[in-house]
Amino acid sequence: MMTNSTSGSATETARPTPPPRSKAWIPLDLLRGFLIGSAELVPGVSGGTIALVTGVYDQLIDSAAHVVKAAKILVTGPDRVRGALSELRRTDWFLVIPVLLGMVAAVFGIAGVVEAFVTANPELARGLFFGLVAASIAVPLRMLPTRTSRQPLLLGLLAFVVATGLAFWLTGLAGGSDVEDPSYVAVFFVASIAICALVVPGVSGSFFLLAVGLYSTTLRAVNERDLGYIGVFMLGAILGLALFVNILRYFLHNHRWWTLVIMAGLMLGSLRALWPWQSAEAGADGESHGAGALLGPYDPIGGPVLLAATGAAIVVVLIIIEAKFASARTEDRPDKES
């Protein structure tokens, strides 16, 4: 997961090709997908953050880029069928399919449960996810390649602070009331933007939906199996992912140090949305939406603090497990390549 860089982007691009993924990982990848999908249902929590913590972020971005490139070759050529199949063969399907199945299971299986929990126990829910995201900031920082003269420390700190401030400001905007009957055109374009947030750690797609008033509307559509709404949303998401994933992959491969620093800043700023104790003004529909003003601790205090500590502990355990697996994979690679 970590690449050392010694001189510029050319070196950063030369990332090792991972060994073929074992089928024995499928149950764990299903769980990873379920966790990523569950995170995307919670305003303020990014599925990209969970992908980072569980150690599959780079592989998922690379695989998505291969699928997008295959579709492009199939449409524009040259050598459409053979070129597209070549790209599809480079996709890590033993990772992508289980993760997608896990995400679908989470979205369709627990959307109503998650919305009910977040609505009925906002302090407890925010406390748990505050701990999860706060501890997760260590993940992109651990993945930083060796800094060179092309990455001045002061400029890196400035980028981190700016990203933190931007995320803090953006999460404060999500306070609008629900749009009850949005047009399918609006749903399509909102989905194409929200999906970009899915793949960027620290940026919550659910919070973007809150900002434009489509969070509860979308969860209700999923819960009620509104196939028209779901279909339009998925088409918009596919378009957004196709346009954005190669951009993100380029920055991860060619400007990895800067990208990870900015991701860490976005994750830190997003904690504004997850501070357990907030005021919440009711919208026109009588429900509270988005982030409120930050307040000092009020009852309940013990529950949110305990859940925050639990969430942080879960992430620390996941980091330790992933580090051990990564070390084992590194030790096994020479034998597999020889």
Q: What is the pLDDT of residues 76-93, one digit of tens each?
A: 877 888 888 888 888 888
Distance, first Cα to last Cα, the chain: 21
What's the predicted TM-score (pTM) here?
A: 0.69
Percent of the chain predicted with pLDDT > 70: 80
Find where tokens 């295959």 sit.
70
Report how far residue 164's alpha carbon sits from residue 278's, in angstroms, rounded to the nearest whole number: 19
Statement: residue 23 has pLDDT above 80: no
Give the count of beta carbons closer than 10 Å to the beta carbon of residue 128: 26
Q: Is residue 5 part of a domain?
A: no
| Structural domain for 146, as ranges | 23-274+303-337
How high is the pLDDT of residue 108? Answer: 83
> Does residue 196 belong to any structural domain of this protein?
yes
How would residue 24 be classed by pLDDT, with cut points 50, 70 and 90?
A: confident
Q: Which residues lie across from 288 on neighbouring strands? A: 282
Question: Within a domain: residue 294?
Answer: no
Query: Is 297 a domain residue?
Result: no
Query: Is 10 contained in some domain?
Result: no
pLDDT digits (tens, 9 = 90+) for 268-279: 888 887 888 887
In a domain, 34, yes or no: yes
Beta-carbon contacts of residue 301 (< 8 Å; ≥ 6 apart): none
Number of domains in the chain: 1
Q: Is residue 280 part of a domain?
A: no
257 domain residue, yes or no: yes
pLDDT for residue 320: 81
Contacts of range 258-261, beta carbons closer than 8 Å, 24 or more positions apart: 258/151, 258/156, 258/159, 260/140, 260/141, 260/143, 260/144, 261/140, 261/144, 261/156, 261/159, 261/160, 261/163
Q: Which residues pair with 294 in a beta bridge?
A: 278
